[in-house]
Structure 1
Amino acid sequence: MNPFLRVLLGSGRLPDRIRAELAASDVVLIEEGLTGSVTYRRYRAPGEYSSWRKEAVAGSVAVGANRLVVWAGRFKHIDVPLDHPVRATIEIRADRPDRVCFAYDAGTTNPSRSGRVEVRLRTPQAARTAQLLTR
């Protein structure tokens, strides 16, 4: 990643603790240092409201044998077991050959939040990532 972008957006790497937890299980895919964006639609959180907002981010995607982690904008957006009912509410698709999109309802796991959040990350493995998670 460009050093200037790294200063602005962060490294896009998973924290060491999460990387160690994933390494202890069977890791299917880890992509770090990805650039992309997070789009908030009709988003509400304590002290925050946005009808539409888009932010540039750096992020990571990790798919373990039984876990999905999406890290973007210096915090964890998704960390869910693959067989958990919440996983079924997350839309995953390859928007383009080089971009994967994770869309979810912010209120699913935190009742103080509402709205739709879309995390888009550029990766050459976008189609593979979407295919791993939609079978």
Structure 2
Amino acid sequence: MEKSIFYLLFGLGKLPKAMVPILQSEGIILLDEGLKGSVTLRKFRAPGRYHNYKKSVFAGSIVITELRFAAFSFSRPIINVPMKDDRLNLLDLSVPKEGVLRAKFNAGAFHQGWKGSVECRFATPSARLFVERLKTNGA
């Protein structure tokens, strides 16, 4: 799986520097950086924002530690759920095609006052490993 051009040229799509020591101290199990990804919003509402349909592409990273599952668009967190949090079960995780990890969820489950569907896709050769590991933890 090719890394994002943003990652190859500018290093965009790495874990945020501030998060690296935190994630390392939690014990990184799986990590992939420089991934091509997309976020699709459907019937999305948040204070000051409304999108019937919006798709954005990015370079990002995903990580599973002993304590959390996190995904980043550039250096912004899109998903950051502790492994023991019941909301992990609200993530619809799948591999729609080989090499693509899909995480779909209702925005209201993670942010008060938000509504709609959020779908994140990450192009990673480790997609199946991520899903298997997360499903063993309850997602």
Scaled by the length of structure 2, the TM-score of the pair is 0.87
Deviations 1:69-125 (A, max 9, x none): 011254211111111111111111112111001111111122121111011010011
Cα RMSD, aligned residues only: 1.9
Determine if contact 1:36/1:57 at 8 Å carries over to the other structure. Answer: yes
Task: List, as ranges, runs of 4+ consecutive aligned residues in structure 1 with deviation greater than 4 Å.
Answer: 3-7
Q: In 1, are the aligned partners of 2:14 and 2:74 still within 8 Å (CA)?
A: no
The percent of aligned pairs where both chains have the same amino acid is 29
The aligned counterpart of 1:2 is: 5
Listed as ranges, the gaps of 5+ residues in structure 2 are none
Aligned residues: 133
Distance 1:106 1:122, change over 3 A: same
Aligned equivalents of 2:67, 2:13: Cα separation in 1: 22
Change in Cα spacing, 1:6 to 1:112, as seen in structure 2 (3 Å) is farther
Q: Does 1:36 align with 2:40?
A: no
Provide Cα deviations, 1:3-36, integer angstroms capped at 9, x if missing partner. Answer: 59866xx811111121111111221011111002
Contact 1:72 1:119 in 2 (8 A): no
Query: 1:6 and 1:58 mapped to 2: Cα distance?
Result: 11
Under a length normalisation based on structure 1, what TM-score does the superposition of the two structures give? 0.90
Aligned pair in 2 of structure 1 residues 81, 3: CA closer, same or farther (>3 Å)? closer
Gap change, CA 1:44 and 1:73, over 3 Å in 2: farther
Residue of structure 2 in register with 1:121 after alignment: 122
In 2, Cα distance between equivalents of 1:11 and 1:102: 21
Matches within 5 A, 1:1-135: 1-3=4-6, 11-135=12-136
For structure 1, list consecutive stretches of 5 or more residues without a partner in the other structure: none
